[in-house]
Structure 1
Amino acid sequence: MKITIVTVTYNCSRILEKTIKSVISQTYKEIEYIIIDGGSTDGTIEIIKKYDSKIAKWISEPDKGIYDAMNKGIDMATGEWVNFMNAGDMFYSNITLSNIFNKDYSSFDFIYGDRIYVNKDGQKYEKPLLFFETTKYCPTKGCCHQSTFVKKNIAIKYKFSLKYKFSGDYEMMYRIYKSNGRFLYRPIVVALYDVTDSLSAKNRFLGRKEDAQLLGLKKNCKYYIYFSLLWLKTMFVNLINK
């Protein structure tokens, strides 16, 4: 079965090449690789052209943000499954896709696995705990899009909403789940998820507010208590870091 890997990038020449190498070095043969660039001016296009023979399709044009760019990737994809491995992120090893797609997943809509979380302090292994598996008051999605695969026809039906700046992937997962989507967990490390320059990591508080919004919690008094405490924690951490 064909797997489409989409990389979204904008002025990421410093970190894009390691992502490209990670994708094109996969031992799995049926890969369609697509790069969606937002109109970079920093040398990104030169890097893409360097690997042009290994890339099925690529475009460089302005977009309305990361989720608009990811939707463009969905529209261009012809694989049965779609993964978003954005600039700076990598597959855990060159046999990751071979390890995952060695079975028939025709009865599932969404596959998710483990990740290695990377920041300036090093690496941390994380096993996903999706929002429907936890009793936390305001759970996050529990996994990153780099370690997930969504069936193409499902991705087309439940495209990323441009209403959200940080939680669009969570919102897509949530809609798929609410529509009785079939989720499958594979205990395999899929991605090295680098948050050093991550948009979501830099805006964690705003991301959590969007999480609460899509879960319909914003009018609940517990919401205000929860986010007041989270805001205080965020301010304290920022103060310590400074």
Structure 2
Amino acid sequence: MPAAAPPPIATSPRYHIDRPSNFERFPTRLLILTGWCFAETGPAVVSILLRCDNGHSLSTPVALARPEVKAATPTAPSETIGFELRGILEKGQRTLSVFARLEDGSEHLLFTRNTRVCDSLRPLWLRNARAHYDEFFESQASNQARYAPRPISPERFPTHPVKARLRDASPRFAIVTPSYNQALWLPETMASVLDQQPGAQVDYVLQDGGSTDGSVELIRAQADRLHAWESGPDGGQSRAIINGFAKTTGGPDDLMAWLNSDDFYLPGALRYVANYFATHPEVDAVYGHRILVDEHSREISRWWLPSHDHALTLINDPVPQETLFWRRRIWDKVGGLNPDYRYAMDWELILRFQAAGARIVRLPYFLGCFRTHALQKSYAEQESGAIHETLKLRERGFGRPFTPMEFSTHPRLLRHLRRSALTEWLWKRGIRI
């Protein structure tokens, strides 16, 4: 019997950097790193990782089509060997190291460069938004890390007492968490809801999709604190949320929300939201600022959102889903969640809220944390699913196709980014608007 062929010997990945051409000095804090990378033998390259000497890191999948490279380099495994990494760096003298991460989990150092990261003395909100669109977007709306991981600073919610008659009339929450194989983060998610119950009345439902990673045991351990829970095939996230809310009841002024199983609320957020709704009966939905955290629940970025802009929401979703709360009356009015949407279902719901005349308010506080990690829905899924649904919703709002170039230069979006930068600038000086 012939001997088995030896496994191929892995070689160092081949790569090329298109941009930037010069690493000695970055005129702004925005880094845009583009190029291609692949391994000729051995495990495939799956992502590009950048590490800074201050602990800040960024990563991006190797998944962009580069047919011209494949045509010129026969050893390239496919056309999808390109990448684009974007992020905001901290100013100062920096040492940047770029690695190729392979599908077996190993990392190969591609290169190290010393650079000086500069920053304009003018606040971001005073700069030319059109000329600095990329920097605006990465600073105000992207899910990339803006700084090295650090502990989350607690939010300082208003502490003035609510009158007894308002406290007695405080609305009740119905909160649903859809989950599937998220045992690593599920306990923190559940605790962020259940541990706020002394200050907020909550009917909490866990809707598990049939997890096999120990999630069911974690849920069962909290069963006596849950309004309801279920584990089994559910037809996807949207259907799980719908099924979860079907297990709840409440009056038209009571509140609803869903919290994904890798996100969590900040302490005191639910009590603050309940008090706000109790004192603003005319409001149908609210949301707040967002904190981005890594897989270890360390803060890596923040979104500061300006006041709600009805017109902007027709072209882009500015609402952090984990901070969104609404009254049952508007949910019932629009008919609940649309199960045909798997990625942009929260944006589609908000658009129907607006079409139904909902009063939506952005609150000037950080309410929840959105986690970014490697186990989220894959880049390929995002490309084929989220982008398709996003374009569909934009076309529905405008009655025609809406090109990416038109989106990136739309004056309403640029105005939103400028207002977001101003909101951050004022917040850091103790002014909440």
Q: TM-score, normalised by structure 1?
A: 0.82
Q: 1:82 to 1:219 in 2, by over 3 A?
A: closer
C-alpha distance in structure 2 between counterparts of 1:163 and 1:178, whole Å: 19
Give 1:226 deviation, angstroms. Answer: 5.4
Q: Alignment length, in residue pairs?
A: 226
Between 41-50 and 71-80, the greater mean CA deviation after superposition: 71-80
**Contact 1:166 / 1:200 at 8 angstroms: preserved in 2?**
no
Structure 2 counterpart of 1:154, from 330, 353, 364: 330
Q: Which amino acid aligns with 2:274?
A: F
Mapped pair 1:187 → 2:367: no
**Contact 1:100 / 1:188 at 8 angstroms: preserved in 2?**
no
**Contact 1:158 / 1:172 at 8 angstroms: preserved in 2?**
no
Give 1:194 deviation, angstroms. Answer: 0.7
1:96 corresponds in structure 2 to: 269
Mapped pair 1:81 → 2:255: yes
* Larger relative contact order (CA 8 Å, sep ≥ 6): 1
C-alpha distance in structure 1 between counterparts of 2:183 and 2:227, whole Å: 19
Mapped pair 1:170 → 2:343: no
Structure 1 counterpart of 2:287, from 106, 109, 112: 112
Mapped pair 1:199 → 2:377: yes
Give 1:96 deviation, angstroms. Answer: 1.2
Give 1:64 deviation, angstroms. Answer: 1.4
Mapped pair 1:132 → 2:132: no
What does 1:1-150 align with in structure 2 at a 5 Å threshold?
1-26=171-196, 27-79=198-250, 80-93=254-267, 95-103=268-276, 104=278, 105-119=280-294, 122-128=299-305, 132=310, 134=312, 139-150=315-326
Deviations 1:16-63 (A, max 9, x none): 111111111114231111111111122111000111121111111211
Q: Which has the higher strand share?
A: 2
C-alpha distance in structure 2 between counterparts of 1:195 and 1:158, whole Å: 31
2:392 corresponds in structure 1 to: 213
Q: Between Structure 1 and Structure 2, whose CA radius of gyration is higher? A: 2
C-alpha distance in structure 2 between counterparts of 1:116 and 1:68, whole Å: 27
Deviations 1:72-98 (A, max 9, x none): 1222222411111111111122x1111
Q: Which amino acid aligns with 1:91?
A: Y
Q: Which amino acid aligns with 1:36?
A: Q
Cα root mean square deviation, aligned: 2.8
Give 1:131 deviation, angstroms. Answer: 6.0
Q: Which has the higher helix share?
A: 1
**Contact 1:131 / 1:140 at 8 angstroms: preserved in 2?**
no
C-alpha distance in structure 1 between counterparts of 2:353 and 2:336, whole Å: 10
Q: Which amino acid aligns with 1:98?
A: R
Residue segments in structure 1 that go unaligned for 5+ positions in a row: 229-242
Give 1:223 deviation, angstroms. Answer: 1.5
C-alpha distance in structure 2 between counterparts of 1:202 and 1:118, whole Å: 22
C-alpha distance in structure 1 between counterparts of 2:407 and 2:202, whole Å: 42
Give 1:180 deviation, angstroms. Answer: 1.1
Residue segments in structure 2 that go unaligned for 5+ positions in a row: 1-170, 409-433
**Could you say what secondary structure the match of 2:272 adopts?**
helix
Give 1:200 deviation, angstroms. Answer: 8.1
Deviations 1:207-233 (A, max 9, x none): 2331221122698465165589xxxxx
2:403 corresponds in structure 1 to: 223
